[in-house]
Amino acid sequence: MKSKGIGKGKGLAAIVLVMALAAGCGSGNGNSSSNQESGAKSGGQVIKIASQSPLSGGSSIQGEAIKLGAQLSLDDHKDEFSKLGFTLELVPYDDQSDAKKGVANAEQIGADQAVVGVIGHLNSGVSIPSSVVYEKYNLPMISPASTATEFTDRKLKVANRVVARDDFQGPAGAQYAVKTLNAKNIFVIQDKTAYGQGLAEAFRDAAKEAGASIVGYEGITVGEKDFNGVLTTVQSKKPDLIFFGGMYAEGALLVKQAKDKGITAPLMGGDALDSSGMADIAGPDVAGTLYSSVAGDITKSNKEWADSYQAKFSKGPEGYSVYAYDSMSVMLAAVKKSIEDNGGKLPAREKIRDAVRATKDFEGVATKVSFDDKGDNKYAKVFIYKFEGASYPGSMISEVSQ
């Protein structure tokens, strides 16, 4: 009997714990709904756009840039929408670069009827499974960063992107490397992620076709700091160029350790090296490193925009900030158009989804946007940049269009 009493006491403790958790959750929920009310008071019906990007983890610099870029565009369009009687609100979600988290968030976003669109994700590996969920809810998404071919090749109605595909970006880089830089022997390194592998394979195949020989193809591990092993192999193969498919944290270390080894061949990478982290980590060694990117240098082509970003968030824009800005602008233009077509009322998600896909010749800050039937941007361009010194961004040296 006594033991039963103890059991009960512990049971109660367990229940109290559940209640405490529930209460924490409830208060969180309460807060967000009260926000909604205050928003509603100031400007009518609330339209929410969600952003999903990694706000924590190894890619958080870029994830944060996506959130802020989207935020800036949303704030720029607030007045426009309040004239129509709507209040815009950004709901940022953290997908932690984790497919499971992304999908679970997507279910929550889809369930929230006030959300009409999603800006995201960064990683193709998260965009692909999450887009399946958005498809179920007819919720349009525009990715400012996912380049994997599979993302749009499944011909989903909701999946769009403003950036170039891997099988355009990789070959564009390869063209430049082989034709302009006259690289004959190329060593390809990739980071064994969906992004790095996709880009590296596209580059490798295109470079081979263009006449260069691939003297090595190796994988590294994300999160490692010592790449001396692979670089020793690189050194023994004496390539003219090293291509790296992967993120900036590893790319910068590769650059630095290659210099330590006395390797003079420059390193070239994809849009993931388009980050201030490159210069922070590699320091002066970064000079000479090339990367392809899908946006022109915003700090030069549109200084005004870059300054407004700087003023608002007190940090400089990253490469993805401007794609996120344009993605959000495209999204909002489509929402606005479908509201106007619907007689001033917010239409069903299907209408907005189709309006997004129908986007034609939208003039964004960084790029013109026209979606084809798969959701790829017809005007996506690839720019080749080169780091001149330990400062970000590098200078633009070439431009490749489709």
CB of 6 vs another protein, minimal distance in Å: 9
Quick note: the x/- pattern for another protein over 36-55, rule CB under 8 A, is: --x----------------x
56 binds another protein (CB under 8 A): yes
Strand partners, 190: 219, 245
Residue 330 contacts by C-beta under 8 Å, 6 or more apart in sequence?
Answer: 142, 162, 356, 359, 362, 364, 369
78 binds another protein (CB under 8 A): no
CB burial string 270-292: b at 16+ within 10 A, e below: bbbbbbbbbbebbeebbbbbbbb
Peptide bond just before 121 cis, omega within 30 deg: yes
Task: Compare residues 27 and 343 and give the one whose CB is closer to another protein.
Answer: 27
What's the CA gap between 161 and 144, in Å, rounded? 6
| Contact set for another protein, span 351-380 (CB under 8 A) | none
Task: Compare residues 35 and 342 and give the one whose CB is closer to another protein.
Answer: 35
Among residues 192, 368, 374, 386, the one that binds another protein under rule CB under 8 A: 192
With tokens 């009322």, the residue in question is: 345
| Contact set for another protein, span 227-286 (CB under 8 A) | 228-230, 232-233, 235-236, 249, 252-253, 256-257, 260-262, 277, 280-281, 283
220 binds another protein (CB under 8 A): yes
Of residues 317, 211, 200, the one with CA closest to residue 254: 200
Among residues 79, 80, 107, 209, the one that binds another protein under rule CB under 8 A: 107
Task: Compare residues 52 and 329 and give the one whose CB is closer to another protein.
Answer: 52
Structure tokens at 340: 């106007």
Of the listed pieces 213-221, 348-356, 367-375, 392-400, which binds another protein according to CB under 8 A? 213-221
Structure tokens at 132: 């399946």
How many residues bind another protein, per CB under 8 A? 96
CB of 40 vs another protein, minimal distance in Å: 13
154 binds another protein (CB under 8 A): yes
Strand partners, 142: 119, 160
Task: Compare residues 258 and 384 and give the one whose CB is closer to another protein.
Answer: 258
Please answer whether residues 210 and 178 qualify as being in contact, where contact means their C-beta atoms are separated by less than 8 angstroms.
yes
The size of the chain, in residues, is 402
CB of 288 vs another protein, minimal distance in Å: 16
65 binds another protein (CB under 8 A): no
118 binds another protein (CB under 8 A): no
What's the CA gap between 17 and 198, in Å, rounded? 46
